[in-house]
A and B are shown apart, each in its own frame.
Chain A
Amino acid sequence: MSTDLKLEKVTVRYGGFTALDTIDLDLSARTTLGLVGESGSGKSTLARTVAGLLVPDEGVMRLGGRILEKRRSREQRKQIQMIFQNPDASLNPRRSVRQILSEALTFHRMTRGRADTERRCRELLERVQLVPGSLDRYPHEFSGGQRQRIAIARALSVEPELLIADEPTSALDVSVQRSVLELFREIQAELDLTLLFISHDLGVIHAVSDNVAVMRQGSLVEIASRERFFSRPETAYSRELLAAVPKMPAAAAGATK
């Protein structure tokens, strides 16, 4: 089954403010779209709209040919999962990792019986490179990178087809960021995920994306393949973004050695 995501003229308004202005977007299955833009450009609004946390004022969204309605079926909710920027805020501090992971599993009836749930939880932890002993611990006992891994495990638990990652590495240190990005690449290849990856960091976007979309003030200003975007950006705004990135002084050469 193809799980292309298609947005047609999607518009979201907050009161009088247009956060998303007639967005048309095609995201083909099993590719990664990197969404860049400055704060307030509407990246997160777009993610939340696709995830069903916001209802668009106009426009149609389709996933695999089926329209995503305001009220989504359980199946559709399962298909789209989201990872948020701040794992501190997205993981319930009063629940153990086991509870966090098994809740989605039981809700979507992914497992049969407690033993099966337990087995699946362990599997998930292993998938995101955490020790199985972590199941009885609480989010505060983990580092930022580990917490983000738990959030990833939770999103993967229900075998989604579209994974939305909203700045998943912005709160992390560079070295941790690198390992989390590697994890993203692995799981995408392994699980045939379609990935909508939001970041304001062009380095991160370059590391994960197949295609790049640039947003500015609620509109998409450019969509191009990664190679094209980074070698020959079409719009002046994209060039401005790329030029603004602080550069290592000839250290790039040193790093690639």
Chain B
Amino acid sequence: MSERETAAAAGKNGAKIGTEPRRVEEANAVHNSNSGTPGNAEARPAGRPEIPTATAAAQVRTTAAADPILVVDRLTLSVASGQNLVQDVSFSLGRGDSLGIVGESGSGKSLTLRAVLGLLPSGVKRTGGEVRHTVRSAMVFQDPRGALDPLCPVVKQVAEVVRYRQGKNRREARAEALKLLGLLGLPDSLKREDRYPNQLSGGQCQRIVIALALACRPDILLCDEPTTALDVTVQRQIIDLIARLQRELGFALVFVTHNLAIAAEVCTRIAVMRQGRLVEEGPSVDVLVRPRDPYTQMLVEAVLPLPEFVSESEDRTRDSGEGGTR
């Protein structure tokens, strides 16, 4: 069934530009494995298009969930010129799992995430592979102010989503929205007086955006660098918030970030992307402590170290003890 769908998709492309680009792509793949880009090349046999999906599924890493709610299978995204922005990316996600996708800018992290949601920017097309999921997903965007309507008060924005996605009437929707905002630690004053996004701080705006996503009652929450625009202390709050919500509500999480430390804190598994390909995937600690791929090693080494105290400072009791002796 899904096999036929892919074939159909390929056919649709083929009608337009012929089968030539596919060949080229294949040739590229072979060329790459010859030139020895390690980590990703070995997972892909040369005669790719003919292989049935069952075999492909077997190639998904061993860490794949037993009963996945989201399967990204050899996803390839390209622009009209034939350049592949994302190539052969596969991963799967079980209920309640958390996966961090890390990589530098231009590595295709965000595009992969958008493909899951079906929100590809214009000009980018899926040219291979597929995304299978049966559940609802919602996304938290990087720039909270950009994701909110500046001309609409925030409670109204959240209520609107609740109304349409949960099929409630206005009053119920508003009550539900306020409940959500309470859950996210937003000030109670919003109950009395609605405010516009520009009257809230960046951290508060991001909480509203998370509320918007949660209003869809997602089974998968997709986060696209949700803390990059925020200060460290606010970032800490948002990370803790997302982790807490995941525990309480039990949604699965895909967390895109360029910060390895954040990915490690939030996610149990980490996937590393480079130039549109998945170079390494595995449990967070394994990937960061014993990176197999040289690129991952480089990323881990590029993290600027902070001296010992920092890890100790996590221990509040010791902190206050020090404060007392001074």
Q: Which residues of A contact B (CB under 8 A)?
A: 38-39, 144, 173-178, 181, 200-204, 206-207, 230-233, 236, 239-256
What residue in chain B is nearest A177 (Cβ atoms)?
B302
Q: How many A-B residue pairs have CB under 8 A?
A: 121
Q: Are B313 and A246 in contact (CB under 8 A)?
A: no
Q: Are A249 and B285 in contact (CB under 8 A)?
A: yes
Q: Are A255 and B303 in contact (CB under 8 A)?
A: yes
Q: Which of B202, B291, B313 has the most CB of A within 10 A?
A: B313
Within 8 Å CB of A176, what residues of B?
Answer: 104
Contact of A256 among B285, B305, B323 (CB under 8 A): B305
Q: Within the complex, what minimum Cβ distance (angstroms) separates B101 from chain A? A: 15
Q: Within the complex, what minimum Cβ distance (angstroms) separates B287 from chain A? A: 9
Q: Are A247 and B285 in contact (CB under 8 A)?
A: no
Q: In this assembly, does B260 line the interface, its C-beta being within 8 Å of a C-beta of chain A?
A: yes
Q: Are B306 and A203 in contact (CB under 8 A)?
A: yes
Q: Are B262 and A246 in contact (CB under 8 A)?
A: yes
Q: Within the complex, what minimum Cβ distance (angstroms) separates B136 from chain A? A: 29
Q: In this assembly, does B120 line the interface, its C-beta being within 8 Å of a C-beta of chain A?
A: no
Q: Are A39 and B313 in contact (CB under 8 A)?
A: no
Within 8 Å CB of B307, what residues of A?
Answer: 206, 230-231
User: Chain B binding site: helix, strand, loop or mixed by DSSP?
Assistant: helix
Within 8 Å CB of B309, what residues of A?
Answer: 230-233, 242
Q: Are B264 and A249 in contact (CB under 8 A)?
A: yes
Contact of A243 among B288, B313, B323 (CB under 8 A): B313
Once A245-B310, A247-B310 are accepted as A-B contacts, the answer to whether A174 and B284 lie under 8 Å apart by CB is no
Q: Are B289 and A250 in contact (CB under 8 A)?
A: yes
Contact of A236 among B265, B284, B298, B323 (CB under 8 A): B323
Q: In this assembly, does B300 line the interface, its C-beta being within 8 Å of a C-beta of chain A?
A: yes
Within 8 Å CB of A202, what residues of B?
Answer: 232, 306
Q: Are B284 and A178 in contact (CB under 8 A)?
A: no
Chain B 285-326: CB-based contact to A (< 8 A → 1; otherwise 0): 100111100000011111111111111011000010011000
Within 8 Å CB of A232, what residues of B?
Answer: 309, 322
Q: Are B258 and A251 in contact (CB under 8 A)?
A: no
Once A175-B299, A231-B309 are accepted as A-B contacts, the answer to whether A246 and B259 lie under 8 Å apart by CB is yes
Within 8 Å CB of A206, what residues of B?
Answer: 304-307
Q: In this assembly, does B194 line the interface, its C-beta being within 8 Å of a C-beta of chain A?
A: no
Tell me, in angstroms, the Cα distance from A206 to B309 when the chains sit together. 13
Q: Are A249 and B304 in contact (CB under 8 A)?
A: no
Q: In this assembly, does B233 line the interface, its C-beta being within 8 Å of a C-beta of chain A?
A: yes
Within 8 Å CB of A39, what residues of B?
Answer: 202, 231
Tell me, in angstroms, the Cα distance from A254 to B319 when the chains sit together. 26
Tell me, in angstroms, the Cα distance from A203 to B285 when the chains sit together. 21
Once A173-B104, A251-B288 are accepted as A-B contacts, the answer to whether A241 and B233 lie under 8 Å apart by CB is yes
Within 8 Å CB of B299, what residues of A?
Answer: 174-175
